[in-house]
């Protein structure tokens, strides 16, 4: 039930405040995010760092995240990103990091999300912070985002001893 409420909440907020008129402008970044999630699911299938433990199958939960929640968040995050003022940009990324980390904290408390193989909520906060920065980088310069994400992915896999 919580999954449906969370998904519906993101869709509802994005419906009213998302930049649907210019969705094509954000499309490649949405695909980048979705592909990153799919690569994570594939590479960590046998040794995950985190998993959904919801009433719906994990594969369905991942599909919902990838095709519903991520696009909604991208349509909310990217259009309102502050153009100038580094402090405002930092606070904006911190705000979204807080939202995603709070949802994860709540899901952990409700036993709807589980960490494995040394992953913790602290790592998720760091990951979320980097993820939102990476989304903005991809929006402006996809090549740099791909290079950074590959380096980060290799580091995470090596650090957590995920077999390649």
pTM: 0.94
Give a yes or no: residue 64 inside a domain: yes
- Check residue 1 and give its pLDDT: 60
Q: State whether residue 93 is helix, strand or coil.
A: helix
| E-assigned strand segments in 37-131 | 50-52, 113-115
Q: How many domains does the chain have?
A: 1
Query: Tens place of pLDDT for every residue, the chain, 164 residues?
Result: 677 788 889 999 999 999 999 999 999 999 999 999 999 999 999 999 998 887 788 888 888 889 999 999 999 999 999 999 999 999 999 999 999 999 999 999 999 899 999 999 999 999 999 999 999 999 999 999 999 999 999 999 999 999 87
Please check whether residue 164 lies inside any domain of the structure: no
Residue 153 lies in a domain: yes
**Residue 61 confidence (pLDDT):** 84
Task: Evaluate whether 17 touches 78 at the Cβ level (below 8 Å).
Answer: no
73-90 burial: b if 16+ Cβ within 10 Å, else e: bbbbbbbebeeeeeeeee
Instruction: Kindly state whether residue 86 falls inside one of the protein's structural domains.
Output: yes
Question: Cα–Cα distance between 39 and 33 in angstroms, integer?
Answer: 10
Q: Is residue 121 part of a domain?
A: yes
Q: Does 127 fall in a domain?
A: yes
**For residue 112, what pLDDT is reported?**
87
Give the residue numbers spanning the domain of 113: 2-159
């Amino acid at each position: 039930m919580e999954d449906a409420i969370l998904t519906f909440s993101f869709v509802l907020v994005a419906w009213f405040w998302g930049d649907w008129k210019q969705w094509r402008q954000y499309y490649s970044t949405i695909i980048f995010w979705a592909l990153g999630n799919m690569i994570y699911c594939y590479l960590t299938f046998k040794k995950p760092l985190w998993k959904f433990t919801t009433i719906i199958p994990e594969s369905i939960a991942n599909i919902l995240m990838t095709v519903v929640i991520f696009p909604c968040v991208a349509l909310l995050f990217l259009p309102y990103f502050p153009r100038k003022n580094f402090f405002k940009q930092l606070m904006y990324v911190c705000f979204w990091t807080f939202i995603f980390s709070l949802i994860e904290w709540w899901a952990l408390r409700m036993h709807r999300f589980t960490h494995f193989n040394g992953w913790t909520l602290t790592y998720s906060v760091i990951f979320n912070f980097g993820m939102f920065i990476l989304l903005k980088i991809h929006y402006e310069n996809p090549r740099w985002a791909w290079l950074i994400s590959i380096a980060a992915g290799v580091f995470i896999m090596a650090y957590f001893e995920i077999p390649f």
